[in-house]
């Protein structure tokens, strides 16, 4: 199989970074409320838990190209976060195939990847390790992460004491401490305040100029139109439309107004 750099030489415009082939994800949802986790575990072993099966993604085909900013839009529960999870390998697809040609820095739903009892400082090292960086490598970028997040006075507090915006600041700062090949962002820009959003956009622009591929989910349609090269609309687990940001956003808006 050709490597990414071989493909790069052959056709600079058309290097796939993420490919989803007929990807479907089925969740299993318990149909009744079970009081405690212990009770749930016992009944699970006894096979006395009834489940409903639910297809959150249904036959998604999608190729994200190297160097593009690709946006996913869609209503609550449409399957956007689930798509990012299968790409980040947090979740395996029930059917189909996911291929990723590069190192991913995922920034999934708020708090995913953070440990609430640990401090900001500890979470920085923990997250760095999850992204594959050693202690030394993290030492080198630690101050930069703290500075970018502007969380200096709070860095030794457990992050359960952080506001959602502070979570987002820490998450973005860690995920982008090193230039990522593929950056995945789930609704992160909308949580930070305006000043922080502007900083995030600048950093994303830099990454992009250096060849990074960005896949982002947002309910901020203006942001999506401004930042993305292409947008995909997910509707009830299906990819409904894909194309020019303005066109896809307009179609989505028309149906949801």
Positions that interact with Mg ion (CB under 5 A): 81
Among 61-69, 71-79, 124-132, 196-204, which window interacts with ligand ATP (CB under 6 A)? 71-79
DSSP bridge partners of 51: 30
| Min CB(87)–Mg ion separation in Å | 13
Rounded to a whole number of angstroms, the minimum distance from the CB of residue 85 to ligand ATP is: 7
Report how many residues bind ligand ATP under the rule CB under 6 A. Answer: 12
DSSP string, 131-181: TT--HHHHHHHHHHHHHHHT-GGGTTSBGGGS-HHHHHHHHHHHHTSS--S
> Among all residues, whose Cβ is closest to Mg ion?
81
Region at 77 (left for phi over 0; alpha for psi -120 to 50; beta for the rest): left
As measured in angstroms, the least distance from the Cβ of 11 to ligand ATP is: 32
Taking the complex as a whole, how short is the minimal distance between the CB of residue 231 and ligand ATP, in angstroms?
Answer: 14
13-21, 42-50, 74-82, 140-148 -> range binding ligand ATP (CB under 6 A):
74-82
| Interface with ligand ATP, residue 79, by CB under 6 A | yes
**Which residues, 6+ apart, have CB-to-CB distance to 67 below 8 Å?**
15, 208, 211, 212, 213
Q: How far apart, in whole angstroms, are the C-alpha atoms of residue 216 and residue 235?
A: 16
d(CA 135, CA 132): 10
Between 79 and 180, CB nearer to ligand ATP: 79
Place of tokens 């993305």: 228
Q: Is 3 in the site for ligand ATP (CB under 6 A)?
A: no
- Considering only residues 37 to 66 of the shown chain, the ones binding ligand ATP according to CB under 6 A are 54, 56
In the complex, minimum distance from the CB of residue 74 to ligand ATP, in angstroms, rounded to a whole number: 5
**Beta bridge partner(s), residue 72:** 217, 232
Strands 69-73 and 230-235, bridge-based pairing:
parallel
195 near ligand ATP (CB under 6 A)? no
How many Å apart are CA 257 and CA 249, to the nearest integer?
A: 12
Strands 95-100 and 16-30: antiparallel
Residue 77 sits in the site that holds ligand ATP (CB under 6 A) = yes
Binding of ligand ATP at residue 88 (CB under 6 A)?
Answer: no
252 near ligand ATP, rule: CB under 6 A: no
Binding site for ligand ATP (CB under 6 A): 27, 29, 54, 56, 74, 76-82
């Amino acid at each position: 199989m050709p490597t990414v750099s071989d493909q790069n030489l052959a056709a600079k415009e058309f290097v796939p970074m993420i490919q989803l082939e007929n990807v479907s994800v089925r969740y299993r949802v318990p149909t009744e409320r079970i009081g405690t986790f212990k009770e749930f575990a016992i009944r699970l072993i006894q096979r006395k838990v009834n489940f409903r099966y639910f297809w959150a993604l249904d036959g998604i085909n999608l190729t994200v190209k190297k160097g593009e900013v690709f946006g996913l839009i869609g209503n609550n529960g449409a399957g956007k976060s689930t798509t990012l999870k299968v790409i980040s390998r947090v979740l395996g697809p029930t059917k189909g195939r996911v291929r990723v040609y590069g190192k991913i820095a995922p920034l999934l739903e708020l708090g995913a990847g953070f440990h609430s009892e640990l401090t900001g400082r500890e979470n920085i090292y923990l997250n760095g390790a999850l992204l594959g960086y050693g202690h030394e490598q993290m030492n080198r970028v630690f101050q930069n992460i703290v500075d970018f997040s502007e969380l200096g006075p709070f860095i030794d507090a457990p992050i359960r004491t952080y506001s959602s915006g502070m979570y987002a600041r820490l998450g973005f700062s860690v995920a982008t401490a090193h230039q990522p090949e593929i950056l995945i962002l789930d609704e992160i820009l909308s949580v930070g305040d305006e000043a922080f959003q502007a900083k995030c956009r600048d950093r994303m622009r830099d990454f992009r100029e250096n060849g990074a591929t960005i896949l982002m989910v947002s309910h901020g349609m203006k942001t999506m139109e401004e930042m993305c090269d292409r947008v995909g609309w997910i509707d009830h687990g299906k990819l409904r439309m894909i194309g020019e940001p303005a066109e896809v956003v307009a179609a989505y808006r028309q149906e949801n107004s």
